[in-house]
Amino acid sequence: MRLTNVALISLPPGRVMSYGFDEAGADAASVPVSFDQGRHVGEGDRPGSWMAIAFRVPEAAATPRGPVTDPSARLRAELATAWDAVVARHGTLRTAFSPGGGDGAGAGGDAVRLHEIPLGPGRWQEHSAADDGEEEARRIVRRVFDAHCRPFARPSHRLIVVEPPPGAENGGDAESAIDPRPVVLIGSDHSHVDMWSLQVLVRDLVTCLDDVRGGRDPGAALEPATPFAVHTAQLAAAGPAPAEVQQRWAGVLARGDGSMPVFPMPLGDLSQRRPEVVEVHDLLDAAELDAFEARAAAAGVRLISLSVSLLTTVTAEVAASALRAVFPVHSRHDESWHGAVGWFITNAVLECDDPDPAACAAAVKQSLALGSYPLAPIFGPSGMPAGPGMFALSWLDARRLPVQLDDALRVQHVSAVIPTDGVMVWFIVNGSGLHLRVRYPDTPEARASLRRWIEAVDGAFRASAREASLRR
């Protein structure tokens, strides 16, 4: 699995086709809007608010069965039938937002409304010729997702397939050699999906595609998927957070002068959002990760806690600050949500000034508690107080996800290219090791600060892994 953005994604040259739906009637039933959906959509209709996932078509599906006049057309027909079944499985893919009557989205939907919408038959649209290069394919993918995967698009998702010409070489990553398989991309406005959801969509599409080719009812063997709107309603009915959690949130905001944490080093002039800089770093390979994880176990903590220990030390050394960051956490606490699609991510805050691994484990536990209760009653109508320079840390151990994807699919998680005024850091753990992806505003000060911080993080993780290896 690779974490990238649309400007860096590895794509073959080739023909780009997209598959989408038109509305087939008026809005149907009203659907509850979650706090995070309301906050996201309440910022207005705009390009670049989407998330996507890309994968190579499974070998069996890429190989035509028997004599076929046009194997590409056959594959597109099978993909369309499979994707129709996936959309029918997941309620959030059959809903759309519209502006509401309120002034803000802080309470989870005052500014926006959400309704089920009837969808007509899907249709394919061609966007490029077969001799276009990789850069052109990237540009077209970005244009299609920017146009169709927006907060108020109806619906706000799109399927894309990039068909390499015979003998084309896949450019862009170290594994490239000749891979004749088409690339499929699933994109959606973030209001309907999170990273875990994209994994679910690939699993479901691959399963349904195999069913289509096998003459079976697509997706019949998959467990039924509960609509995300049910989760939103359940969370709203859960009641306010306990007093100690509310007090902890009050302390978080007080320490941030009423706002969420900001990156503790200079970022330059952020009076307006700047073009983004995106960097991807491989911190530890599989063997180094194994040694590092053994060191965490010896300390009696999980991998994330030992990692927070190093980040706390680094931040104190290079920024003279405690570690304070927005910390996204998921709310799929019940197994019934493991195969569902929706925005199950909400925000907490991670605070740590003691690098002792046990103290870091306690800090992670406290952060998870902050994100386990509805945020609307805590923040009120004004919403989450986020400002320029906001610092967010995301941690995903892909090995622990209940939905696992075959390495042969060569999965890439793809974000949009957007202007930004904050710092977002993702730590991804998978079978190949520990990886870091960072996005920050393109200013001289931010480049200098982030490069210094990233170099220190890289050095700390590598040194810890080397020390752990020597002790084994």
Residue 88 burial by Cβ neighbours in a 10 Å radius (0-12, 13-18, 19+): middle
Rounded Cα gap, residues 249 and 84, in angstroms: 43
β-bridge mates for residue 183, sequence order = 56, 162
Closest CA to 326 of 112, 36, 108: 36
Three-state DSSP state, 448: helix
Least confident span in 147-161, 187-201, 229-243: 229-243
pLDDT of residue 333: 87
Q: Which pLDDT tens digit goes with each residue over 300-347?
A: 999 999 999 999 999 999 999 999 999 999 999 889 999 999 999 999
Q: Which CATH class is domain 241-471?
A: alpha beta
The Cβ-side half-sphere exposure at 110, using a 13 Å CA radius, reads 11
Rounded Cα gap, residues 335 and 333, in angstroms: 7
* Centroid of chain to Cα 243: 31
Q: Which pLDDT tens digit goes with each residue over 337-351?
A: 999 999 999 999 999
State which amino acid sits at residue 23. E
Domain spans in the chain, listed from the N-terminal domain onward: 2-234, 241-471
Three-state DSSP state, 425: strand
Question: For all residues of the chain together, what is the average pLDDT?
Answer: 91
SS (H, E, C) 297-316: HHCCCCHHHHHHHHHHHHHH
Q: Which pLDDT tens digit goes with each residue over 57-103?
A: 998 766 666 666 788 899 999 999 999 999 999 999 999 999 986 55
Rounded Cα gap, residues 104 and 88, in angstroms: 31
2-234 matches 241-471 in fold: yes
Residue 145 in this model has a pLDDT that exceeds 50: yes
Rounded Cα gap, residues 284 and 460, in angstroms: 11
CATH code, 2-234? 3.30.559.10
Could you tell me if 340 and 231 are in contact, meaning their C-beta atoms sit under 8 angstroms apart? Answer: yes
The first and second tokens of residue 350, run together, are 């991670």
The first and second tokens of residue 437, run together, are 């992806």
Q: Sign of the C-alpha dihedral, residues 155, 157, 163, 168? A: positive
Q: Give the phi and the psi of residue 207 in degrees, each rounded to 5.
A: -65, -45
Grade residue 472 by pLDDT with cuts at 50, 70 and 90. low
Q: Sign of the C-alpha dihedral, residues 114, 116, 120, 125? A: positive
The first and second tokens of residue 182, run together, are 């088409």
pTM of the model: 0.92
